[in-house]
Amino acid sequence: MSEARTPAEIEAAIVRRRQDLAATLDELAVRVHPRTIAADAKARAAAAVDRTAGRAYVAVNRAVSDVRDRFVSEEGEPRMDRIVPVALVAVGVAGLLLVSARRRRA
């Protein structure tokens, strides 16, 4: 069985419980306050944007590295055998777009 508590011990226990309850109620009030909810939502949105931006950065960096690897040798020299055909295609496409745009104006 448990020992009998004195009235002073019981009062002290009640005071501690009231303080604990007050602290819990204060914490709940902060959690449900509109500013807290808005700040939490803003933080979650910022984290999501950061994650998305990070993924986009990694994807772009990987794509740039892949393109660089195709057009630059391991020694760092440009690979003209690959650059010239791509440049010719780009000039051809630009020329076709220019001719097409002029025909629409006329």
Q: Where are the alpha helices (DSSP H) in 1-79?
A: 7-32, 34-71
Q: Is the dihedral of CA 64, 70, 76, 80 positive or negative?
A: negative
Average pLDDT per block of 10 residues along the chain, 106 residues long: 85 96 94 92 95 96 93 91 94 94 85
Where do the domains of the chain lie? 78-106
